[in-house]
């Protein structure tokens, strides 16, 4: 037991002797006996072999190869950490950390080169089968993320997540994964950070496919993605759970929203941020009511009418769809890194139309919050982590929470003092949330196992526990 949590044990016991930043004094608590400690990665960021053994082009391959300036250092993910060829070394690193579980993603275009099930790539299936078997050989539990942003470009050519047919395409893809790996995989994540896919990929320019069709595409994308998630859940629940057991959920990214001041307006802004960002995806799945948050429905409807649209730009779920989507998760996967200060906008913000303009709030960070990260936004604010866990527990029916990502980006090198400090503070805040706030947290994954291709940051930002 002592060895299985070795990395995290060292951070808690050997980290900062004095823990401050309002995350709580050094906790004397311990993690529950069955608490899961793990590390996470994603296919695009580590596998390389972008066109090897039958893999087709993903939307990230297409974007980077056709727009080299998109990436901060001009790099690409063609080789990355070469995990396609070095997966045994990856598993060895997981073993060296002494953790229980490894979260990795499966590349849709590696398994289904056309995006559909008319062509199933045996070499892609074999690669993931080998990785899973290697993990199980050393008693490491695999957690599979089914979609971590790498849509087959062939499906994007048909409209990607704005095309309603993608719901069926995704469910077919999920069925291939359940058929081939379900007897060996007990934890499934349908989507990683869907808000990044839809808000930044379809409504913005920071994530592939970088369409920038703001005000419409992010809502269409989300609508289809939530239906795809629910379809995969019901397929798992109705067909595979009784055969193989296991759990399935979704990983949502969220910052904590702190009011900029104690004014009622700023408190309203912080609450609105959580409801219209994380809640955009969480409320349909995890709330007792289901459907989109009422605040988001009202705001988009009001803005749409003012902008002379015939109907709201936010699509409407039928009552049957609300019920179909509600409750479709066994756990709440949370990806969290930092905190922002929120206030209500006193004028129009963002492009018109856009989700940003619809919501009408402004976020900043306190300049006194510490950070020496290679990612300027990554401020060290452990109290925000604790408050977010408490918020999820209270607002979503005491749902089991698995922190599927938390980590710190540094520059290259092995002098990781800032990273150690970050983990020490955040793990300490996590202990307080479990023992004092009674947050139902059942696992924690560090991001990430090794330095990797960090999207538009390329290889500048280093999140890895290994180089």
Dihedrals phi, psi of 425, to nearest 5 degrees:
-65, -45
> pLDDT value at position 414?
76
> pLDDT value at position 12?
59
Is the model's pLDDT at 21 over the cut of 90? no
Domain residue limits, the chain: 6-457
Report the pLDDT averaged over residues 394-423: 93
Both tokens of 409, joined, read 């980006």
Q: Does the 6-457 domain belong in CATH 3.40.50.10420? A: no
> pTM of whole model > 0.95?
yes
Is the model's pLDDT at 171 over the cut of 60? yes
Dihedrals phi, psi of 5, to nearest 5 degrees:
-115, 30
Q: Could you give the 3-state DSSP secondary structure of residue 363?
A: strand
Mean pLDDT, the chain, whole residue set: 96
- pLDDT tens by residue, 246-257: 999 999 999 999
> pLDDT value at position 1?
29
Annotated catalytic, 319?
no
Q: Which of 200, 356, 405, 454 is catalytic?
A: 405
Q: Could you give the 3-state DSSP secondary structure of residue 301?
A: helix
Annotated catalytic, 295?
no
The answer to whether the beta carbons of residues 426 and 382 sit under 8 Å apart is: yes
Q: Which of 47, 193, 258, 321 is catalytic?
A: 193
Report the pLDDT averaged over residues 384-401: 98
Report the pLDDT averaged over residues 389-418: 94
Is the model's pLDDT at 14 over the cut of 80? no
Dist CA 244 CA 71 (whole Å): 41
The interaxial angle of helices 6-14 and 417-435, nearest 10 deg, is 90
The DSSP code sequence of 3-67 is: TTTHHHHHHHHHS-SS--TTS-SPP-----TT-EEEEE--HHHH---TTSTT---BHHHHHHHH-
Q: Could you give the 3-state DSSP secondary structure of residue 131?
A: helix
**Which of 137-141, 364-368, 388-392, 413-417 shows the lowest mean pLDDT across its residues?**
413-417
> Band of the pLDDT at 2, cuts 50, 70, 90?
very low
Report the pLDDT averaged over residues 350-370: 98
């Amino acid at each position: 037991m002592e060895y299985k949590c070795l990395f995290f044990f060292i951070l808690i016991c050997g980290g900062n002797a004095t823990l401050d930043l309002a995350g709580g004094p050094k906790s004397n608590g311990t993690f529950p006996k069955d608490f899961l400690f793990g590390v996470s990665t994603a296919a695009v960021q580590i596998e390389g072999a972008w066109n090897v053994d039958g893999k087709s082009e993903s939307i990230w391959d297409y974007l980077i190869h056709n727009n080299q300036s998109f990436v901060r250092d001009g790099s690409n993910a063609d080789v990355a950490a070469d995990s396609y060829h070095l997966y045994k070394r990856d598993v060895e690193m997981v073993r060296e950390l002494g953790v229980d579980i490894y979260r990795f993603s499966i590349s849709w275009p590696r398994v289904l080169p056309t995006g559909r099930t008319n062509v199933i790539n045996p070499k892609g299936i074999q690669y993931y089968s080998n990785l899973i078997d290697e993990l199980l050989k050393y008693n490491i539990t695999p957690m599979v993320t089914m979609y971590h942003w790498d849509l087959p470009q062939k499906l994007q050519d048909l409209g990607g997540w704005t095309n309603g047919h993608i719901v069926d395409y995704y469910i077919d893809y999920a069925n291939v994964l359940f058929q081939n790996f379900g007897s060996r995989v007990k934890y499934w994540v349908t989507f990683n950070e869907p808000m990044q896919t839809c808000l930044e990929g379809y409504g913005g320019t920071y994530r592939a496919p970088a369409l920038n069709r703001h005000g419409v595409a992010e809502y269409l994308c989300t609508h289809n993605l939530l239906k795809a998630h629910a379809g995969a859940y019901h397929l798992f629940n109705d067909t595979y759970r009784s055969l193989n057991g296991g759990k399935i959920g979704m990983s949502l990214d969220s910052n904590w929203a702190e009011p900029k001041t104690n004014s009622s307006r700023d408190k309203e802004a912080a609450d609105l941020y959580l409801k219209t960002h994380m809640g955009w995806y969480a409320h349909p799945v995890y709330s007792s009511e289901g459907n989109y948050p009422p605040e988001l429905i009202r705001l988009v409807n009001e803005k749409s009418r003012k902008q002379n649209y015939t109907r709201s730009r936010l699509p409407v779920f039928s009552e049957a769809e609300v019920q179909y989507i509600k409750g479709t998760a066994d756990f709440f996967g949370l990806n969290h890194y930092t905190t922002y200060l929120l206030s209500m906008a006193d004028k129009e913000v963002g492009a018109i139309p856009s989700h940003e303009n619809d919501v009408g709030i402004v976020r900043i960070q306190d300049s006194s919050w510490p950070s020496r990260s290679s990612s300027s936004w990554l401020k060290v604010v452990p109290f925000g982590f604790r408050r977010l866990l408490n918020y999820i527990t209270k607002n979503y029916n005491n749902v089991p929470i698995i922190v599927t990502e938390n980590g710190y980006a540094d520059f290259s090198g092995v002098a990781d003092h800032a990273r150690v400090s970050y983990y020490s503070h955040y793990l300490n805040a996590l202990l307080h949330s479990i023992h004092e706030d009674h947050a139902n947290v059942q696992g924690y994954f560090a991001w990430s196992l090794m330095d990797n291709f960090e999207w538009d940051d390329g290889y500048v930002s280093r999140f890895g526990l290994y180089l």
